Amino acid sequence: MMTESSPEVREISLDTLVEKRRRGEPLMLVDVLPHEHFAHIHIPGSINVPLEDLRALAPLLFGKGDQLIIYCTSIDCTASPTAVKILQQLGFTDVLDFAGGLAAWVQAGQPIVHVPHSPQPEGQGEQAT
């Protein structure tokens, strides 16, 4: 029994991504990690669309032909290749996985937005609703 194969997940290297950004090429850099992670650290200019919200939000945020470069934490993270497949299924045609993710970006000394976690004063933890 043959099943329809899904499109191949195409990857973009760190060097190519840096060069595209340097040239000002039109692209959308999308972090698919949870909001809390994005609020703590992300690549400048990226937007956050958590994986669990992708199906609902992508058609509202992106054009089908926009170049979308998807990233998560590292080469071991499965969120970005999963997101690429979802976007392809939704009909987006120019989707790339930055497989090295945030770890490769930081290791290469590229700029990041980093907001340290601030400790909450005693008694200021989660509040019951």
Report pLDDT for 81. Answer: 97
Residue 1 has pLDDT above 70, yes or no: no
Does pTM top 0.75 for this prediction? yes
Report pLDDT for 6. Answer: 60
Give domain status of residue 7, yes or no. Answer: no
Please report which confidence band the pLDDT of residue 124 belongs to, taking 50, 70 and 90 as the band edges: very low
Determine the Cα–Cα distance for residues 113 and 86; give it in Å rounded to an integer: 27
Give domain status of residue 124, yes or no. Answer: no
Determine the Cα–Cα distance for residues 67 and 62; give it in Å rounded to an integer: 9
Q: What's the CATH number where 82 sits?
A: 3.40.250.10
SS (H, E, C) the chain: CCCCCCCCCCECCHHHHHHHHHCCCCCEEEECCCHHHHHHEECCCCEECCHHHHHHHHHHHCCCCCEEEEECCCCCCCHHHHHHHHHHHCCCCEEEECCCHHHHHHHCCCCCEECCCCCCCCCCCCCCC
Give domain status of residue 1, yes or no. Answer: no
Domain that holds residue 95: 14-113
Give domain status of residue 68, yes or no. Answer: yes
Give domain status of residue 122, yes or no. Answer: no
Residue 3 has pLDDT above 50, yes or no: no
11 DSSP 8-state letter: B
Give domain status of residue 36, yes or no. Answer: yes
Determine the Cα–Cα distance for residues 9 and 119; give it in Å rounded to an integer: 40
Please report which confidence band the pLDDT of residue 119 belongs to, taking 50, 70 and 90 as the band edges: low
Report pLDDT for 128. Answer: 41
Give domain status of residue 65, yes or no. Answer: yes
Give domain status of residue 128, yes or no. Answer: no
**Domain count for the chain:** 1
13-72: pLDDT as tens digits: 999 999 999 999 999 999 999 999 999 999 999 999 999 999 999 999 999 999 999 999
